[in-house]
């Protein structure tokens, strides 16, 4: 799997990895986490001849940061990597950032992949059992202060929701509510017997759901 690199436009330090070749899928890590925990999923999808970019949050500074700023970071990284357009998605908080990317930079997004759906409050998972190598505690307060969930999905941009059927942090009802709000755009796949960290614990099922929807196989 690829090693983490740092992209530093205007002093922003944005961790990322790139794996595979082909059409691009961007995966944004959840709050308080670095992109490493999405490595298994990224590797699985990249084996289907796609270029998978994992992205973490910029380093926290004294300056206030908005969701629009974090969305801009993703697009600036796409520019840096010469990616004209991509499916953009993420896990929990990362998926919310992806929704903002689609709203703010509509022409760069072919679709949105949500690995769990945040609704009226940001995800607050228990990270005590998460391996230290996956944690990035220095960004959690910045992310919490920036958090805001879009009221709508981007017009004419398809959305695939893949969610854990047993996720008690972001319950499946969140995905169903999003589908009800835009039934022509939003599709939902439940990963059975999967809790909040299903992108790392249920790699095969999650990867299959993505590949099946996008018909990459």
User: Domain residues of the chain, as ranges?
Assistant: 5-214
d(CA 217, CA 205): 14
Q: What pTM, to 2 d.p., does this model score?
A: 0.97
What are the angstrom distances between the C-alpha of 15 and each of 35, 61, 123, 165, 208?
A: 8, 15, 21, 30, 26
Write out pLDDT tens, residues 96-141: 999 999 999 999 999 999 999 999 888 888 998 899 999 998 899 9
Domain 5-214 has CATH 3.40.50.1820: yes
Q: Which two tokens stand for residue 95?
A: 């998926």
- What tens digit of pLDDT does each residue of 48-102 get? 989 999 999 998 887 899 999 999 999 999 999 999 999 999 999 999 999 999 9
């Amino acid at each position: 799997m690829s090693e983490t690199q740092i992209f530093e436009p205007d002093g922003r330090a944005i961790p990322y990895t790139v794996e595979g070749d082909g059409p691009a899928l961007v995966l944004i890590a959840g709050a308080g986490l670095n992109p490493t925990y999405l490595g298994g999923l990224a590797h699985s999808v990249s084996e289907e001849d796609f270029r998978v970019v994992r992205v973490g949050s910029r380093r926290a500074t004294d300056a206030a940061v908005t969701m629009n700023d974090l969305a801009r970071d993703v697009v600036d990284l796409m520019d840096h990597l010469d990616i004209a357009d991509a499916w953009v998605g993420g896990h929990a908080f990362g998926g919310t950032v992806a929704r903002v990317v689609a709203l703010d930079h509509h022409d760069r997004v072919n679709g949105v992949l949500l690995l769990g759906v945040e609704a009226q409050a940001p995800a607050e998972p228990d990270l005590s059992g998460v391996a230290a190598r996956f944690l990035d505690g220095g960004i959690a307060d910045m992310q919490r202060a920036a958090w805001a969930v879009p009221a709508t999905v981007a017009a004419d941009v398809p959305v695939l929701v893949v969610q854990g059927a047993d996720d008690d942090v972001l319950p499946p009802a969140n995905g169903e509510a999003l589908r009800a709000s835009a039934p022509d755009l939003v599709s939902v796949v439940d990963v059975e017997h999967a809790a909040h960290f299903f992108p790392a614990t249920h790699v095969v099922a999650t990867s299959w759901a993505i590949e099946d929807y996008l018909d990459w196989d």
